[in-house]
Every structure is written in C-alpha cells, then in structure tokens.
Amino acid sequence: QAVVTQEPSLTVSPGGTVTLTCGSSTGTVTSGHYPYWFQQKPGQAPRTLIYDTSNRHSWTPARFSGSLLGGKAALTLSGAQPEDEADYYCLLSYSASKVFGGGTKLTVL
C-alpha cells in the first residue's frame, strides 16, 4: 500500500501565506489521484476543503486553494486567520484503495 507524506507541522503568521504538500511513495501525484484536503479541529469530525485537486466546496473560504506543485498536491492558505489553526490531511486515491497522509498540524502564531 502506498505511503502519503505531509509535513508534520508548520507555522504561519496571521495574515501570512503557507503551503502544505502531499507526496506519494509511488511517484508524482497527478490529478488522477483525485487529491482531497481536509481540515480537522480538536473534537470535531474532518471537513473537506478541497476536492479533485483544486475545487472548493461552498463552505470553503476563498483563502484556501489547491494545486499540483513539484510532483505533489499542495494546499495554499493565503491570509491565514487564527481560526485556521487545525490539523490538515490530504487523501489520494489509488485504483482500489485510498490513503490519507499523516497530517500537518498548522499553527497560526
């Protein structure tokens, strides 16, 4: 089974910009992996932010954007807010299975 890697932790200043990445042990991440990004706050279920690489849900703030960058999936937060402090997970699809990344703990400080 593939391994999906994310930065364990990142820190961003309020109003700043940060990029989280999502890599695959099988090689380059493509749109064919249908990358998803989720946000999870303590004690809550995850919430989807981005689907199919770069599409936002109706509830996703415009400051979040998804892309493919340097062979990985990427989530960019532009203009970080205190409420963006959370754990972020990516999900990649591999034909018959799906694999979550280990998660990135984002601190807004």
45 binds another protein (CB under 8 A): yes
Q: How far is the CB of 72 from another protein (least distance, A)?
A: 18
CA distances for 50 relative to 43, 64, 98, angstroms: 21, 8, 16
- Shortest approach of another protein to residue 45 CB, angstroms? 4
> Using the rule CB under 8 A, is 54 a contact of another protein?
no
| 99 near another protein, rule: CB under 8 A | yes
- Closest contact distance (angstroms) between CB of 13 and another protein is 25
Cβ 102 vs Cβ 44: under 8 Å: no
Residue 64 binds another protein (CB under 8 A): no
**Residue 66 engages another protein in binding (rule: CB under 8 A):** no
Among 46, 66, 75, 86, indicate the residue that binds another protein (CB under 8 A): 46
Q: For residues 86, 18, 21 and 6, what is the CA-based torsion angle, rounded to 10 degrees?
A: -40
Q: What is the token pair recorded at 85?
A: 């402090």
- Which residues sit opposite 38 in a β-bridge? 48, 89
